[in-house]
Amino acid sequence: MLEIKNLSAGYGKVQVLHGVSIEVPKGRVVTLIGSNGAGKTTTMRAVSGMIAPTAGEIILNGKRIDGMESYDIARRGLAHSPEGRRVFATMTVTDNLHLGAFPRYTGSRPKGDVAADLERAFALFPRLKERREQLAGTLSGGEQQMLAMARATMLNPDVMLLDEPSMGLAPILVAEVFRIIERLKEQGVTMLLVEQFAAAALGVADYGYVLENGRISLHGPAEKLRNDPAVKAAYLGGGH
Ligand SMILES: Nc1ncnc2c1ncn2[C@@H]1O[C@H](COP(=O)(O)OP(=O)(O)O)[C@@H](O)[C@H]1O
Ligand SMILES: [Mg+2]
């Protein structure tokens, strides 16, 4: 479904990713683990077209998308819930969600029933339903994070990139975010997940990759990584 092959990318003259390869099969949840600054967010930005890869191939549903504009990539069915609560502050919750569905109107994918999907999103995120007419900028940080996630679901994506959906949230909301990820998984949504809570991410994921200084150092079934002594020592201790 999503294949990343030998991806290199960076910012200006600074190369961050050095030949990263990741496969996200249909219906699976894959997690990308790594320390701060390893290049997880850069990987997601390159996949969704926010930055242009300098080498490698990104293939979505059998078609190359590397080098395409973000909007074209979204139209082809890839949704990105970016790090750090990127919502449209002066628009309502409902309008933010409609914007998430907008690329469905112009691509070749079936448009589907946007109104029904809005109700489905509200069922998944009841907090947002209660606040549907509120301006997004007036939501709490945690609610904005959920809105970014919910907006990504409105694309009805073939693949969803989730970058640190629980960042900065109170523990009760972290648990809710993971419950929502579980529900999305049950619904068959294909996901590439980056999470500070690596143990919890490996709990929901089928497969995992470890990124170190812009290179994949290890990958394997999530269960195996969870029990790997080196992974445990580096990523599953206290702060992660
Ligand atoms: N917009 C940017 N401009 C320049 N360098 C950046 C930018 N964003 C991230 N970096 C650098 O790229 C590297 C990888 O960052 P990032 O992908 O955000 O890591 P992670 O998400 O794994 O914490 C870091 O060294 C970071 O400083
Ligand atoms: Mg990051």
What is the position in ligand 1's atom list of the atom closest to the CA of 39? 17
Higher-pLDDT residue of 112 and 207 is 207
Contact 81, 161 (CB under 8 A): yes
Contact 150, 100 (CB under 8 A): yes
Domains in the chain, number: 1
Residue 91 sits in a domain whose CATH number is: 3.40.50.300
Does residue 33 lie within any of the structural domains? yes
What residues make up the domain containing 161? 2-235
pLDDT in tens, 124-180: 999 999 999 999 999 998 899 999 999 999 999 999 999 999 988 889 889 999 999
Other CB atoms within 10 A of residue 230 CB: 11
CA-nearest residue, atom 2 of ligand 1: 11
Check whether 240 has a pLDDT greater than 50. Answer: no
Does residue 161 lie within any of the structural domains? yes
Does residue 240 lie within any of the structural domains? no
pLDDT in tens, 53-94: 999 999 999 999 999 999 999 999 999 999 887 899 999 999
Ligand 1 binding pocket includes 37 (Cβ within 6 Å) = yes
Please tell me the pTM assigned to this model: 0.94
What is the position in ligand 1's atom list of the atom closest to the CA of 43? 17
Check whether 237 has a pLDDT greater than 80. Answer: no
**Mean pLDDT estimate for the chain:** 94
